[in-house]
Amino acid sequence: MASKENNSKLFIVLCLVFLLYTSSMGISASNTNVTYWDVNMELDDVSNYEGVRLVVFFLPTCPSCIDELLILEQIDANFNLTIFMLDVYKQPTNQRLIDFKNNHTLSDDWIIGYSTSETNSFFDLYSVPTLVVLDDLGRVGAFIEGQANYSFLETKILDAINHNTDNYNTEYNEDPSNQITTIFIIVGVGITAVVTYFLVKTLIKRK
């Protein structure tokens, strides 16, 4: 009998530990998934890379996208970040990516690929160029539609580097207060369950 009671108590404690663990996972910054097909036509995710990241959605036939390359080169020279050039229309082969890189002599440090339909849908992409700045925690610092000038883009990158979250784009980031509220609810339910269990056990013993 004692063994069964100990097993029950152990089970409840493990459940509580699990609830605390899963809730604590929620307080970490949300790492925005930006999936794409790389130049080798293999699926990858921008979240797999570290540091501040600049994602540029483009089309090879877009004049503004071409003009923006000069600004991106200046940004690349002045900041330690990773630049992703993602063509929004996936092709059966990687030839268009290779041609674009060669025709415009893109840096070998830049990552080029095709954005996935999931990524296009998540950001509701309907125009190019569109730029997304992610900080080192994967939070969206800026969502920029249309060609950005250097000074504006520099400001957004500095915000991401310095974690100036007051200037972040809030549309794609989870509200931390909602996460904290969820944590308290989960923990509260877990503690209530444990207390209720021991109260019931105590009443049964008294009878």
Q: What percent of the chain has pLDDT over 70?
A: 69
Q: What percent of the chain has pLDDT over 90?
A: 65
Between 50 and 197, residue with greater pLDDT: 50
CATH superfamily of 35-167: Glutaredoxin (3.40.30.10)
pLDDT digits (tens, 9 = 90+) for 20-55: 444 444 333 457 899 999 999 999 999 999 999 999
* Mean local confidence (pLDDT), 145-162: 96
Q: At a CB cut-off of 8 Å and minimum separation 6, what does 61 contact?
A: none
Kindly report which listed range (73-82, 153-162, 167-176) carries the lowest average pLDDT score.
167-176
Kindly report which listed range (2-11, 12-21, 33-42) carries the lowest average pLDDT score.
12-21
Between 137 and 199, residue with greater pLDDT: 137
pLDDT of residue 148: 93
Residue with structure tokens 């030839």?
95
Q: At a CB cut-off of 8 Å and minimum separation 6, what does 72 contact?
A: 54, 56, 83
Per-residue burial over 66-92, b = 16 or more CB atoms within 10 Å of its CB, e = otherwise: bebbebbbebbeebebbbbbbbbebee
* Mean local confidence (pLDDT), 16-22: 46
What is this structure's pTM? 0.71
Cis omega (within 30 of 0) for bond into 60: no
